Amino acid sequence: MIDVVIATYNRSEHAFELAKDLSNYNKFLAKIIIVDSSDNFEKINSNNPIINHIHSSHKNQPYQRYLGASLCSSEIVLFLDDDMSLIDKTLFEDLNYFFKKKNIIAVNLNFKNINNFLQNVPKSLFTNKKSRFLSFLIGHMNAEKNKYIYCGIKGERISNENINYLSGGSFACSLKFLYSNFNFQLFDLYENKLGKGEDGIMGYTISRTGNIWSAEKQYFLHNDYSDSTYSTSYYNFSKRVMFSRLFLSYEYYRQNNKPLFYGFIRYQHYALGRILGSIINCIVNYERKKIEIFMGNITGWLLTYTFYFKYIKIENSVWSYRLKKDLDKIKLM
C-alpha cells in the first residue's frame, strides 16, 4: 500500500481537490494526509475515510512533509504539492512495479509544468549550454546527466535511468530510507524564509543509500496558479535561491566526507558569477524585475556571512519537540 502526503498553505481547496481525485484509487492507498499550515485553519471532515486533514503549526514545507511522514505506516510515501493534478492513471501500478522490480528506494516522478512566475524570471545570459571555460569562469559547472553537485546544480534529467536527485512537486520514497542522514538544519532555513532546493538535496541524501529511478511518463500537471509563496516577489525569490545555495554546497561536501571549506569556496565562486550575470542582464535590457533580482542576489549573498552550518539530527533538534507538540494536538482533534 501507499500513503500520500500533500503539504498546503492557504490553498486547502486545491489540496482537497487533488486528494479527492486520488481517493478514487483507494485499492492502492492506505491514507492521504493533507498537512495544512493555513493562517485560518479549520479542519475539514471529509466523507472519505482515507483523507485526513491535519494542522501544522509551522508554515514550512519540509517540516510539513516530515509531519505527514510521521503519521504514515505504508512502505511507500508519495509526496505531492497541492497544485498537482493527476493526468496518468497508471501511476500507482507503476509505483508498485518500480519499488518491487527495479530494486529502487525512491522515484523521481515526471510532470508537465505550468509556472508563469518562473517562466517570466529573466534568463541569465549564461545558459546551461556553456563552454568549459565559461563554466569555470562563473563557477556554475555543467553537472553530468542525472547528477547532483555543489550549490544544488543538477544535470539534465534523463528518463529510465538511475538519478541522484528529486524534482520538485511529485516524488515517492520508501519510508524507512526517507530521512536517513538527513540534515534537519534545512527546516531552520525554511522557517526563516531562506530555504530552497529541498527536493534536490533530499534526493541526493537518499541516493547515498540506494537507487532513485527517473520515471519516463508525465503523471501530473503542475499548475502553480501564480499564488504560491514563491511567486510573490522576484526579490524574495532570488534572495532565497542565493542564500540557500551555500547550505546546499556545504551539504554536498558533508555527504561526500570532504572539507566544508571546499563548499564555501565553490559557493563564493558560484555566487559572484550569478551576481555578475544579473548585473549584465540589467545593463543589456533594463527592467524593474531585473533590478529586484540583482538586489535579491546581493542580499542573499550578504546574509550567508551570518550563517553557521552544522549537521543536525532530529533527536538533537528543536524540531523533535515541535513535532511532538503537533502530534499531540492532532490526537486531540
What's 101-137 look like in SS3?
HCCCCEEEEEEEEECHHHHHCCCCCCCCCCCHHHHHH
Fold of the domain built from segment(s) 2-126+145-230+319-332:
Spore Coat Polysaccharide Biosynthesis Protein SpsA; Chain A (3.90.550)
Q: What is the pLDDT of residue 208?
A: 94
Q: Vertex 175, ends 174 and 180: CA angle to 5°?
A: 95
- Identify the three-state secondary structure at position 259: coil
Q: What is the pLDDT of residue 79?
A: 96
Alpha carbons within 13 angstroms on the beta-carbon side of residue 79 total: 28
Residues belonging to the chain: 333
Interatomic CA distance for residues 279 and 285, integer angstroms: 10
- Going along 120-262, which residue ranges are E strands? 162-163, 170-174, 212-223
Interatomic CA distance for residues 239 and 224, integer angstroms: 20
Q: What is the pLDDT of residue 34?
A: 96
Q: What is the pLDDT of residue 142?
A: 82
DSSP secondary-structure letter at 156?
A: P
Cell reading at 208? 547515498
Ranges of each domain in the chain: 2-126+145-230+319-332
Query: What is the model's pTM?
Result: 0.90
Q: What are the per-10-residue average pLDDT scores of the chain (333 residues)? A: 94 91 91 92 83 94 96 95 92 93 90 67 56 63 90 93 91 93 96 94 95 94 69 87 97 96 95 89 84 94 96 93 93 65
Q: What is the pLDDT of residue 279?
A: 87
